Amino acid sequence: MQKDIGSPTSTPRLRHRRRSNEIPQEINKSNGDHLLINDQNKYKSMWIRTLSSFWMLGSFVFALYMGHLYIWAMVVVIQIFMASELFNLLRRAHENKRLPGFRLLNWHFFFTAMLFVYGRIISQRLVNTVTSDNIFYRLVGGFVKYHMAICYFLYIAGFVWFILTLKKKMYKYQFGQYAWTHMILFVVFAQSAFTVANIFEGIFWFLLPASLIAVNDVAAYFFGFFFGKTPLIKLSPKKTWEGFIGASVATMISAFVLANIMGQFQWLTCPRKDLSTGWLDCNPGPLYKPEPYPLPEWLPHWVPWKEISILPVQWHALWLGLFASIIAPFGGFFASGFKRAFKVKDFGDSIPGHGGFTDRMDCQMVMAVFAYIYHQSFVAPNDSSIEMIMNQILGSLTLEEQRDLYMKLGQILQERLRLSS
């Protein structure tokens, strides 16, 4: 029996508008057609990209000038933008209309993860900042002691909330969004936590890796812009071998030079042990003290220098530069493949000429993890100093218990002094 065309069982064909960040059809052309050297609108694109870069650079310099807490706040703002862009990547307007409050649930999990990750990082610094005379003394003491429990019950509240919002015929979409949300939290926080840890170890260990990624990105763009002819990888059609090699050389040179410049400022090299914003004064340590190196004898006699001063940290910077040149770009390649899988050109349009914040942070996150691991493995001292032992002891105590410990130690010290006299 022939089916009636006008029967109610037939479903109309839906037409979807292409999103602004969706890849156009011509993306499937050969790689050579997409090289910057063949792009007809490349000068307009370069101008927009340059203006946006100066705007980002100005904001970045302001945060650096203000100090550790402001840099941390900048990282949090970037994380919020990244999460928003990634949440929107798989969101469907039709399904979301049938699930009121589902977007709010995503952000509930986001801020719960933020409280958990950053609470663990700043708890000891928060204790060092708040004194017993402060109005927030008991509040901070309770937060430090019950931080894990607070985060756990907040997550459980979100879990129960999710179960109660499940709707028939929407299960697959809802569980997909639930899994997608947790993957976003892992991508954003698991790596950004290392960024914040680098900041408090000393702005140097945040600024230098971030600067090297920026130098590599800018150098690759301009080398590819003027000399690029050989495609590098199909995932990123505009990337060229000329840009990759030129950027690698520029990044290695910049790493050695920038480490020498940054290593001379205590504001950048001193670690922050509390959450204050005051000026830092510390012993820079041997890493930031110049050592003389004699120049080779085969240099011409008209060279006025017989030796040069090099900071030991500059040798460490070369390893950071090597990673930023060779490995970190694969974070960008991964992001390019990810966008192609979802058929979008950019993760967002928050930054004109650059796409979204996620487009700018793909390599930065990979670099931040390496910088932290390298610092802890090859730079941070291995000896268990009195300060490290005290921090471990104090980290497991409440503020009241710490005060009692200090008073007890003071009494013991006074008794020892009395006996010795």
Q: What is the pLDDT of residue 228?
A: 86
Pairing between strand 291-294 and 307-310?
antiparallel
Q: Which two tokens stand for residue 215?
A: 């130098």
Which among 202, 207, 312, 320 is positioned nearest to 255, based on CA atoms?
320
Q: Which two tokens stand for residue 84?
A: 């928003």
Q: What is the pLDDT of residue 315?
A: 96
* Residue 133 pLDDT grade (very low, low, confident, very high; cuts 50, 70, 90): low
Rounded Cα distance between 228 and 80, Å, is: 35
Compare 93 and 52 and report the one with higher pLDDT.
52
Percentage above 70 pLDDT, the chain:
81
Which among 113, 121, 181, 124 is positioned nearest to 150, based on CA atoms?
113
SS3 call for 62: helix
Question: For 352-378, what is each residue's pLDDT tens digit?
Answer: 777 888 888 889 989 999 999 999 999
Question: For 209-265, what is each residue's pLDDT tens digit?
Answer: 999 999 999 999 899 988 888 988 888 888 899 999 999 999 999 999 999 999 999
- Which residues neighbour 182 within 8 Å (Cβ) at sequence distance 6 or greater? 109
